[in-house]
Structure 1
């Protein structure tokens, strides 16, 4: 990636690093992975065990020239690797019914913001220096247990899960320079329940109908207390931001031939929001919201031509033009009063597409 911004009073704008550039940055990441998995079948294929392992490697480099935000230039780099094990078990004692469980370990490599902010940092003496990357990757351990059933036009699934994170990433922003950086912020936990149901009704002359619903409960909290020069004091049990506890999706579908119509109501519950500069939640939340969407789809097949089919799609989002806030950050004004900077949700919108299959 090459990213640069130059300032000048008139066109044409010269592009001279150290003269009129805000920054001139080149970043690269070489990502490699090798994966192997086996499927062990036992007891007349009613029990399946799928062990797997993946090797992941990421080599990242960020280089910046001298610019408005960078009094000195420099390069930082890092190489991280990880062996990720997975294990899945699925037991189907009856036709259409199964019980499953899964375990896995994974890694999240730091994004590029954790690198370029290390160039032109100031040390205790006020000198600009290039600081080696000292951020640790984020590690996740995942457990899941669930059951599925499918039969007589009905399909349902329910599962519980727990995800444990260490070295949780926190994105902070300097109010002086405007530069963002990523720091480690202790451990955290996501856990909850997911439920999915769908019922298909027998085909009638008017077409085939179905009703469906999904519900998820997710509780996300920090599980360790820590104090960060960037984020401040964080206590165990404090919630994470941008994680609604409850989400619901209900809808109906109709299909006749290759025409498909879908109407669904999506509800997203209240959620905590991050402080703009600290990168961790304060006490402010955004309210929950519900939005109705409609989708109409049709596939037109062609015979004896190079074009096999054309799929047409018409989507109507936020049918009732509701005002809602899907995301926000909190800040304080000059007098120390808290307020929200919000991102408005999409209003009533119509858009379509045509996909040609050859």
Structure 2
């Protein structure tokens, strides 16, 4: 893979307006060469070369000190990973013969729009933005339940859109040490915008949600600093999200529930002046303070009788771990 990138920064109206056009050239050559083995009754090689010119444009307007409004637009590409090439070796033709067929999967393209504003004053930082992303040739990962071979296919168009809000306040020195608080919230809606047929899942309709995209996420926290000592406590909420069917690679009707996790971190940097080691940084992390049981990822399947169930990946329980980092 190779890329070349160029960007300019154009200042106008006494630098209250900044325009940043950019362009990137991307080139990828992918090859899969496989021998006869467990998955392949014949050997073969498939390869292709793909490239794309990615333009971007950003505009930032700062009419007042600390306050700005910005907008951006861009086009980008995601090349198929190597798994997308596996199924082309040892396909079966109409005569029942094993053959190697040319690569037909297309890259995934995205067009992104974003509009937002930022404000910074006297220890306060706030920002809010809205975005919309249009995908074409959306990648869908499917698995053959007989051979257990996973491949990537194209699944039509999709759209991600939402808002993001960030708040941060430095309170300065209060009683002992310096304090800060922060909070951020994001809302994201991800849906297919075209209908298509998915292997093992059948028809997928426009408006159907994508998997592994929680609509709501919230982070809140409090920080404290005294000399070289830092302490942080933060809570993260991740809302419910649809999960993919195990073999089809697209969502069914099952979700994993939302969850909240609280973490604490303590850090201390100790300078050392009389030895070769300049400093030592000590860290103590306490994750999932309240030992909350939660699921971070899952796939859905059905048993012999057609009853749906989830195969889940559980989150970490209450955990304590530390580290020491030496700087020479």
Counterpart secondary structure, 1:117: helix
What does the per-residue CA deviation read over 1:254-294, in whole Å, with 9 as the maximum and x for residues that have no partner? 01112110100100000000000010000110100000001
In 2, the alpha carbon distance for the partners of 1:102 and 1:230 equals 39
Matches within 5 A, 1:272-351: 272-303=242-273, 306-351=276-321
Larger mean Cα displacement after TM superposition, 144-153 or 203-212: 203-212
Q: Show the counterpart of 2:55.
A: 85
Q: Show the counterpart of 2:125.
A: 155
In 1, the alpha carbon distance for the partners of 2:4 and 2:274 equals 42
From 66, 70, 91, give the equivalent of 1:121: 91
Q: Would you say the 8 A contact 1:172–1:231 is kept in 2? A: no
**Long gaps (5+) in structure 2:** none
What does the per-residue CA deviation read over 1:162-185, in whole Å, with 9 as the maximum and x for residues that have no partner? 010000000000011000010000
In 1, the alpha carbon distance for the partners of 2:2 and 2:317 equals 41
TM-score by length of 1: 0.89
In 2, the alpha carbon distance for the partners of 1:151 and 1:305 equals 42
Q: Show the counterpart of 1:4.
A: none
Q: Show the counterpart of 2:79.
A: 109
Q: Show the counterpart of 1:94.
A: 64
Q: Would you say the 8 A contact 2:142–2:199 is kept in 1? A: no
In 1, the alpha carbon distance for the partners of 2:219 and 2:299 equals 25
Q: Show the counterpart of 2:186.
A: 216
Counterpart secondary structure, 1:202: strand
Q: Displacement, 1:306?
A: 4.3
Q: Would you say the 8 A contact 1:218–1:244 is kept in 2? A: yes
Q: Show the counterpart of 1:130.
A: 100
Matches within 5 A, 1:18-37: 31-37=1-7
In 2, the alpha carbon distance for the partners of 1:230 and 1:60 equals 27
Q: Would you say the 8 A contact 1:63–1:116 is kept in 2? A: no
Q: Displacement, 1:305?
A: 5.1
Matched, 1:54 2:24: yes
In 2, the alpha carbon distance for the partners of 1:258 and 1:141 equals 44
Counterpart secondary structure, 1:326: strand
What does the per-residue CA deviation read over 1:16-52, in whole Å, with 9 as the maximum and x for residues that have no partner? xxxxxxxxxxxxxxx1000000000111111111100
Larger mean Cα displacement after TM superposition, 300-309 or 107-116: 300-309
Larger mean Cα displacement after TM superposition, 115-124 or 137-146: 115-124
From 71, 74, 83, give the equivalent of 2:41: 71
From 220, 224, 232, give the equivalent of 1:254: 224
From 162, 165, 168, give the equivalent of 1:198: 168
Larger mean Cα displacement after TM superposition, 88-97 or 197-206: 197-206
**Long gaps (5+) in structure 1:** 1-30
Q: Report how many residues are paired.
A: 328
Q: Displacement, 1:336?
A: 1.1
Q: Displacement, 1:357?
A: 2.8
Larger mean Cα displacement after TM superposition, 140-149 or 344-353: 344-353
Q: Displacement, 1:313?
A: 1.8
